[in-house]
């Protein structure tokens, strides 16, 4: 190991195997991330990248997919073959063993499953069968696994069992690329490195919390994929519940992987189980119809490529969740996500209670909003605190104003892209930003009643115009008074 300026260690040697080397994720995210890591000297000194996929290609053609890396002495190899064919893994093993001898990769292997989910268990089994999963003393063999982790609780459990038949939990790195975003990690810094927020972060002062993951894009060319996923599986079960867990969990004993993950699991376990009969009051399912986004007319979901003309797949989902613990009892958490919403934004808004008594006439405070701390995760990453201030002059009036902190303005450093962090941490064996088995299964437990309700079409489908903030029914989740509506981010 060598030490970087920030104290993190870079593994000295190892091989990265990309299963799905010709795919979209590999080309768009993994190779550019590797190139940037190499530019910052954050790849192992003795490093080899081995690609596996069915398309025929030479080692040189493969190396050309990550320009700049070969020039830095990284050796590139490509194994063409199907995951269904035992011979693919025999040849892969020969290639890896040869790399150990020729390039000093020392038996360390990071297997990255950048391929179709139906191949995850198959590849793990084949690695086990060829004796490539077991860690000889002094080496590592790690498996990085992309989302989705299962299609529901039963298939997630099945996949977990298949992986555990071959790999031990400490070898499995389940990605939620949201966790690798700097501003998501900053939720931890904000909460646990400051004295001014945490004392307010509980049921005594917080009225409710709103989490929004809004996209302005539609499904694009991914209609066929999205038909199988929907907002629940694409965003809520994984990213939204992770952001919720970091926002609401108790302070961990340290920032070590298991200390943080223990607290997240504890929080996920505290989410009150959704009862089927309560769902109509707690869940709003939406689908976008034609509208205007950024001044451009856009089609409705049912008219998108690869989408069934009578599809009931949700492109919007809003939920009211309760957390049954001492900190949060009685504080609702409202979460929402959607495609084709007014703009792209991910944020957590903590809305505080009103002061117990206002020594001002009602006319002086009519337009005052509740105090709010907003953690802006993307874009324009930052933190905003809103509060009431006196409007200059007379009569005495109070209006809401903001304190705004922007990452870009405060720091010169470019934050690493999420996939740089994913690859770097997996090579170091730091699992803090990856999901542990029990976290994934708990998240599925939370959403399963909704999965089942959708399967039985037991909840109404509410349409919303593309370019809006979702169906009006979503406001009703917050309450029935005029003031009860989602914050406009
Ligand atoms: N794309 C994204 O932006 C994105 C974002 C987040 C997560 N993910 C996840 O990342 C994973 C990969 O997604 P993707 O979009 O990159 O998929 P993709 O473009 O369809 O790529 C799949 C890759 O797997 C290979 N492959 C498929 N079946 C194979 C088989 N039987 N034997 C050998 N190779 C096989 C394909 O290569 P050949 O056809 O050459 O064999 C290709 O390289 C998925 O789990 C996805 O959910 C993707």
* Residue 16: CATH number of its domain: 3.40.50.720
Residue ending a domain, among 175, 201, 226, is: 175
For residue 4, pLDDT over 60 is answered with no
**Which residue has a Cα nearest atom 28 of ligand 1?**
116
For residue 242, pLDDT over 60 is answered with yes
171 and 202 share one domain: no
170 and 214 share one domain: no
Mean pLDDT of the 416-422 span: 90
- When divided into structural domains, the chain yields a total of 2
- Written as six digits, the tokens of 7 are 């104290």
Residue 164 appears among annotated catalytic residues: no
The answer to whether residue 429 sits within a structural domain is no
CA distance 259 to 188: 13
Q: Calculate the average pLDDT of the chain.
A: 92
CA distance 290 to 421: 38
CA distance 320 to 30: 36
The 10 Å Cβ neighbour count of residue 117 is 16
Ligand 1 pocket check for 53: Cβ under 6 Å:
yes
197 and 335 share one domain: yes
Residue ending a domain, among 152, 175, 198, is: 175
Burial class of residue 111 in the structure, from the number of CB atoms within 10 Å of its CB (0-12 exposed, 13-18 middle, 19+ buried)? buried
Please name which of 356, 350, 354 lies closest in space to residue 331, comparing C-alpha atoms: 350
Is the Cα torsion angle 102, 103, 104, 106 positive or negative in sign?
Answer: negative
The answer to whether residue 387 sits within a structural domain is yes
Ligand 1 pocket check for 89: Cβ under 6 Å:
no
For residue 154, pLDDT over 90 is answered with yes
Residue ending a domain, among 175, 207, 234, is: 175
pLDDT score, position 393: 86
100 and 141 share one domain: yes
Phi and psi torsions of 425, nearest 5°: -65, -40
Please name which of 299, 403, 284, 293 lies closest in space to residue 344, comparing C-alpha atoms: 293
Pocket test for ligand 1, best of 17, 18, 19, 20 (most atoms within 8 A of CB): 20
* Angle, in degrees to the nearest 10, between helices 241-248 and 437-455: 130
Cα atoms in the Cβ-side hemisphere of radius 13 Å centred on 120: 26
The answer to whether residue 192 sits within a structural domain is yes
Pick the atom of ligand 1 nearest to 148's CA.
47
**Which residue has a Cα nearest atom 32 of ligand 1?**
82
Q: Is the peptide bond before 148 cis (omega within 30 degrees of 0)?
A: yes
Pick the atom of ligand 1 nearest to 122's CA.
31
Ligand 1 pocket check for 239: Cβ under 6 Å:
no
pLDDT score, position 369: 83
Pick the atom of ligand 1 nearest to 85's CA.
32
Mapped onto helix, strand or coil, the DSSP state of residue 130 is coil
Residue 489: pLDDT band by 50, 70, 90 thresholds?
A: confident
For residue 181, pLDDT over 90 is answered with no
Please name which of 196, 134, 137 lies closest in space to residue 167, comparing C-alpha atoms: 134
CA distance 247 to 445: 19
For residue 206, pLDDT over 70 is answered with yes
Task: Name the active-site residue from 239, 456, 480, 485.
Answer: 239
- Written as six digits, the tokens of 399 are 């209006």
Residue 1: pLDDT band by 50, 70, 90 thresholds?
A: very low
The answer to whether residue 484 sits within a structural domain is no
Ligand 1 pocket check for 25: Cβ under 6 Å:
yes
Ligand 1 pocket check for 54: Cβ under 6 Å:
yes
202 and 148 share one domain: no
Please name which of 131, 199, 124 lies closest in space to residue 163, comparing C-alpha atoms: 124
Element (H, E) at 250: none
- Written as six digits, the tokens of 333 are 């958490």
Ligand 1 pocket check for 55: Cβ under 6 Å:
yes
For residue 2, pLDDT over 50 is answered with no
For residue 485, pLDDT over 90 is answered with no
**Tokens 């501003």 belong to residue:** 183
pLDDT score, position 396: 84
The answer to whether residue 482 sits within a structural domain is no
CA distance 422 to 430: 9
Please give the distance, rounded to the nearest whole angstrom, from the Cα atom of residue 145 to the centre of ligand 1. 12
Pocket test for ligand 1, best of 22, 25, 148 (most atoms within 8 A of CB): 25
Pocket test for ligand 1, best of 26, 28, 33, 53 (most atoms within 8 A of CB): 53
Domain that holds residue 43: 2-175
Ligand 1 pocket check for 147: Cβ under 6 Å:
yes
Please give the distance, rounded to the nearest whole angstrom, from the Cα atom of residue 401 to the centre of ligand 1. 47
165 and 248 share one domain: no
The answer to whether residue 420 sits within a structural domain is no
CATH number, position 342? 3.30.360.10
CA distance 310 to 308: 5
For residue 25, pLDDT over 70 is answered with yes
212 and 152 share one domain: no
The answer to whether residue 487 sits within a structural domain is no
pLDDT score, position 9: 52
CA distance 392 to 1: 60
67 and 195 share one domain: no
Mean pLDDT of the 192-209 span: 94
The answer to whether residue 481 sits within a structural domain is no
Candidate from 317-331, 360-374, 410-424 with smallest mean pLDDT: 360-374
Burial class of residue 235 in the structure, from the number of CB atoms within 10 Å of its CB (0-12 exposed, 13-18 middle, 19+ buried)? buried
The rounded Cα 110 to chain-centroid distance in angstroms is: 21
- In sequence order, which residues have a C-beta less than 8 Å from that of residue 273 and are 6 or more positions away? 445, 446, 449
In percent, how much of the chain has pLDDT > 70? 97
252 and 221 share one domain: yes
205 and 163 share one domain: no
**Tokens 């930052």 belong to residue:** 382
Residue 483: pLDDT band by 50, 70, 90 thresholds?
A: low
* Angle, in degrees to the nearest 10, between helices 241-248 and 182-192: 20
Ligand 1 pocket check for 62: Cβ under 6 Å:
no
234 and 320 share one domain: yes
pTM of the model: 0.93
Ligand 1 pocket check for 288: Cβ under 6 Å:
no
- In sequence order, which residues have a C-beta less than 8 Å from that of residue 228 and are 6 or more positions away? 151
Please give the distance, rounded to the nearest whole angstrom, from the Cα atom of residue 22 to the centre of ligand 1. 8
Ligand 1 pocket check for 418: Cβ under 6 Å:
no
167 and 193 share one domain: no
Please give the distance, rounded to the nearest whole angstrom, from the Cα atom of residue 146 to the centre of ligand 1. 10
For residue 6, pLDDT over 50 is answered with no
pLDDT score, position 481: 58
Whether residue 320 contacts residue 333, with contact meaning beta carbons closer than 8 Å, is answered with yes
């Amino acid at each position: 190991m060598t030490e970087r300026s920030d104290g993190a260690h870079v593994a000295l040697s190892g091989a990265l195997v990309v299963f799905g080397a010709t795919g979209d994720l590999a080309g768009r995210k993994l190779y550019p991330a590797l190139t940037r890591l190499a530019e910052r000297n954050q790849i192992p000194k003795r490093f080899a990248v081995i690609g596996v996929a069915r398309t025929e290609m030479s080692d040189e053609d493969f190396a050309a997919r990550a320009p700049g890396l070969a020039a830095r002495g990284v050796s590139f190899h490509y194994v063409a073959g199907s995951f269904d064919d035992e011979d693919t893994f025999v040849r892969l093993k020969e290639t890896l063993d040869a790399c150990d001898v020729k390039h000093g990769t020392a038996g360390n292997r990071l297997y990255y499953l950048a391929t179709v989910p139906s191949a995850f268990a198959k590849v793990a089994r084949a690695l086990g069968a060829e004796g490539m999963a077991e860690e000889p003393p002094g080496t590592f063999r790690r498996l990085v696994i992309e989302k989705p982790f299962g299609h529901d609780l039963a298939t997630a459990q099945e996949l977990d069992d298949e992986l555990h038949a071959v790999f031990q939990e400490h070898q499995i790195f389940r990605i939620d690329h949201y966790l690798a975003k700097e501003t998501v990690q900053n939720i931890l810094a904000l909460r646990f490195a400051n004295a001014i927020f945490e004392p307010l972060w509980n049921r005594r002062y917080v009225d409710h919390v709103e989490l929004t993951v809004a996209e302005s894009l539609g499904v694009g060319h991914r209609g066929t994929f999205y038909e199988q996923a929907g907002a629940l599986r694409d965003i809520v079960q994984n990213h939204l519940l992770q952001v919720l867990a970091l926002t609401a969990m108790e302070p961990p004993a340290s920032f070590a992987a298991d200390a943080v993950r223990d607290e997240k699991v504890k929080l996920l376990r505290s989410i009150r189980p959704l009862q089927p009969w309560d769902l109509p009051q707690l869940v709003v399912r939406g689908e976008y119809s034609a509208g205007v986004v950024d001044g451009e007319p856009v089609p409705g979901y049912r008219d998108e490529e690869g989408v069934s003309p009578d599809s009931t797949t949700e492109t919007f989902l809003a939920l009211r969740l309760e957390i049954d613990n001492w900190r949060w009892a009685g504080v609702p958490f409202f979460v929402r996500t959607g495609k084709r919403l007014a703009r792209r934004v991910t944020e957590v808004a903590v809305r505080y209670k009103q002061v117990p008594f206002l020594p001002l006439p009602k006319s002086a405070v009519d337009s005052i909003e509740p105090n709010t701390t907003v953690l802006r995760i993307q874009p324009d990453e930052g933190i905003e605190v809103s509060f009431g201030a006196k409007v200059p002059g007379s009569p005495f009036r109070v209006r809401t104003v903001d304190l705004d902190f922007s990452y870009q303005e405060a720091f010169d450093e470019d934050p690493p892209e999420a996939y740089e962090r994913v690859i770097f941490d997996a090579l170091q064996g730091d699992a803090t930003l990856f999901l542990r088995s029990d976290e994934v299964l708990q998240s599925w437990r939370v959403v399963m009643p909704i999965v089942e309700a959708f399967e039985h079409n037991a909840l109404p489908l509410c349409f919303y115009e593309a370019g809006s903030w979702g169906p009006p029914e979503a406001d009703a989740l917050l309450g029935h008074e005029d003031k009860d509506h989602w914050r406009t981010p």
